[in-house]
Chains A and B, each alone.
Chain A
Amino acid sequence: MLRFILGFIGLVFAGVLLISLIGGVSDYYRHPPAVLAAEEFHVEHKHLKLASDGPFGKFDRAQLQRGFQVYGEVCAACHSLSFVAFRDLKDLGYNEAEIKKIASDWKTQVPSINPDTGEAATRKALPSDHFPAPFANETAARAANNNALPPDLSLMTKAREGGAAYVYSLLTGYRDANTYKNEEGEAVPADARPAANLHFNPYFANLNLAMPPPLTSEGQVSYADGTKPTVDQMAKDVSAFLVWTAEPNLERRHAVGLSVSIFLLVASILAFLAYQNISAETKLSKAGGAPEPKKQPAKKTRAKGNAGIS
């Protein structure tokens, strides 16, 4: 009886699924879904190779410093970096005096209070401070950016599919929607072209984003180490920097991971050999029904174990 009830329930579920399937298929043919421009024109991020890639990747500190410079001089005008502190810059190879100077010279000051009156005030940043946000609050940020909110960049390379490669593609991916053609040579339809204050970028899922192209001309920042500041180079450097801000412990993680893996590999090989000994002994004594062999030489038992019974 129970099986009949359960079987009936199973048939009911399967039946409703069949109805759903038929409904879906007929719907598909009666009203074929329109292909959205966002699907036709959105492109997969470019390939980007960074020193931090792969299981043994390490940061290229010169590149991180350049990327930090791009962040400070370009991105920081709108984007906060709220989970990173000035003291963290030590990882990038700056010494304490340099960090102190970077903090106190930072364009945005840290919100504070006037020690005499208690009124709201600002003070110079200290190494222990996190990077101060460029806008006092979300409303101020939106007011200054055509009602768009510039996202915090601390975790950006972990918060987007494609990570650093996506950031790099986006920064270098702005195109003119009027002349842009996709792989099939189609022009962007009128309704997918950017509205006022939006900018066309095929690497962005919606195609049009509020951020104007931030890196526009060669030499927008001047690198101290002599690297040529092309738009491509600046985009790469700041992407590499954002890998570090999202995952400052990456190098440590790789190093610990390597030692843990080697330890576990050796441990599992040793444990496997021990198991083979025990297995051979146990099975021999069982198969023959003979009394438990006392302390057989390991080599001999293993050879027997491999040859015969397993």
Chain B
Amino acid sequence: MSFAWAKPYEPKHPAMRWLDSRLPLPRLIYNATGPGYPVPRNLNYWWNFGSLAGLFLMIQILTGITLAMWFYATADGAFASVEHLMRDVNAGWLIRYAHMNGASFFFIVVYIHIFRGLYFGSYKPPRELVWMLGLVIYLLMMATAFMGYVLPWGQMSYWGAQVITGFFSAFPLIGEPIRQWLLGGYAPDQAAISRFFSLHYLLPFVIAAVVILHIWALHIQGSGNPTGVDVKDEKDTVPFHPYYTAKDGWFVAAFLLAYAIVTFFAPNYLGHPDNYIQANALATPAHIVPEWYFWPFYAILKSFTVDFILPAKLWGVLAMFGSILLLFFLPWLDRSPVRSGRYRPLFRTFFLLLVVDVLVLGWAGGAAPTPFRVAIGQIAAAYYFLHFLVILPLVSKLETPLPLPMSITDSVLKPKRGSVVTAG
């Protein structure tokens, strides 16, 4: 928030002056969302998903707190308490469906937000920490979502907990003790549901704390923009309020419409029917699958089918964790000084391949493993690792980027892509 062109906060009303000199809350808000935070004028709609993600975190916390008032975290009572809420509590069904689908929409928003960052080079200097804090949020979200899915204690809840905690048992010697320590027993039971509930309630607030760091780090360097060119002067920016508050505002309403349509008219479309069967330790479902937002990782896990030096399961688990951890190294893997994919033709081709690749991984991870599906999943998983660890470093060395616009304002006034080199 130390931009030369940022407007300093000068409270006019005596009450605000009084407050500002004692607790500078108004200053904080002014500098974060007001004219004190000048934002590049050329942000496109891919930049709307950050504030949306914050909104969905709030929706999840609010609906979650309400759900917790009706939930019994017991292996015997959890399933029935959810049904009681769905049937006998005023608007209970609404709160639960909003939370259930809110999780899915939170992930949709965050995935778009992450891919926005991948395409426009948001992970590059000077915003590496913004990117890495974002990944921490994403990891916390995954843990929270997994534990939340266990709570209704349906068949997929139970067997999902079996499979996911079973990852740890892939590690030799220490694996099985870790798994038992995590579950508080040999299999998911009362100890597991109690601790998952406790942590499922805690982690969203940890996420909120990391979100504050994420935004703080962002506001030190200021938002990136689709050209990837730095802000040069005030002309390149608009004040966050009212310009981006208005843009976020209408987009939030439109996105909530999509969320409402799914929540009200197809609330179980994104879920799995087996989770309406109460958990049964003696009956394994035919196909155990996690929620859709974990399918790509599940595909990577299932793709390792050969005991090559290490057991296949251990390869799968290492690769699955690795597939997320490698994103932390992205700022050092992609060394191209050009941020935006707009001016990197070769990068753009591979980026589009990556998008298709992750969708294919999702397809391979979501359904019963046929030999054909497994083979496709293996190719897609191999591309995923090659893309980030081999192709990206090579591309950033080999490609010749297109000429960049002189400034953000230039790119806006002469919007022809990459052709603005002549001054004037």
Contact = CB atoms under 8 A, between A and B. Distances in A.
Interface residues on B, range: 35 or more
B329 interface: yes
Interface string B313-333: 001000100100010010011
Interface in B87-115: 87, 93-94, 97
Interface stretch (A12-20, A60-68, A221-229, A294-302): A12-20
Interface string A268-282: 100110110011001
B375 A25 contact: yes
Contacts of A159: 273-274, 276-277
A205 interface: yes
A214 interface: no
Given A55-B265, A279-B247, A283-B41, A267 B260 contact: no
Contact of B371 (A14, A33, A282): A33
B386 A264 contact: no
A10 B378 contact: no
Contacts of B176: none
Contacts of B273: 158-161, 163
B265 A257 contact: yes
Contacts of B386: 10-11, 14
Nearest to B391: A10
Contacts of B419: none
Give the 6 A-B residue pairs with the shortest CB-CB distance, closest first: A257-B264, A10-B389, A271-B250, A268-B253, A159-B276, A275-B246
Contact of A278 (B246, B260, B333): B246
Interface of B: 41, 80, 83, 86-87, 93-94, 97, 235, 238-239, 242-243, 246-247, 249-250, 253-254, 256-257, 260-261, 263-265, 267-268, 273-274, 276-277, 286, 303-306, 308, 312, 315, 319, 322, 326, 329, 332-333, 371, 374-375, 378-379, 381-382, 385-386, 388-390, 393, 409, 412-413
Contacts of A252: 93
A6 B375 contact: no
B385 A253 contact: no
Contacts of A267: 253
B250 A88 contact: no
Given A20-B304, A155-B277, 9 more contacts: A3-B393, A6-B333, A10-B385, A13-B381, A18-B378, A28-B371, A158-B273, A248-B87, A309-B413
B257 A261 contact: yes
Q: Is the interface of B mostly helix, strand, loop or mixed?
A: helix
B250 A275 contact: yes
A293 interface: no
Contacts of B306: 16, 19-20, 23
A275 B371 contact: no
B379 A265 contact: no
30 contacts: A6-B326, A7-B389, A7-B393, A9-B389, A11-B386, A11-B390, A14-B386, A14-B390, A16-B306, A16-B308, A19-B306, A19-B308, A21-B378, A21-B379, A21-B382, A28-B371, A33-B371, A55-B265, A158-B273, A249-B86, A257-B263, A260-B260, A264-B254, A268-B257, A271-B249, A271-B253, A274-B246, A275-B249, A278-B242, A283-B41
Given A7-B390, A260-B260, A17 B246 contact: no
Given A7-B393, A278-B246, A289-B235, A83 B265 contact: no
A2 interface: yes
Interface residues of A, number: 60
Q: Is the interface of A mostly helix, strand, loop or mixed?
A: helix
Interface in A233-280: 246, 248-249, 252-254, 256-258, 260-261, 264-265, 267-268, 271-272, 274-275, 278-279
Contacts of B276: 155, 158-159, 246
A161 B368 CA distance: 14
Contact of B243 (A17, A88, A258, A279): A279
A18 B388 CA distance: 17
A16 B243 CA distance: 51
A20 B260 contact: no
Contacts of B371: 24, 28, 33
Contacts of B267: 253
A257 B83 CA distance: 21
Interface in A59-92: 83-84, 88
Nearest to A84: B87
Contact of B385 (A14, A260, A283): A14
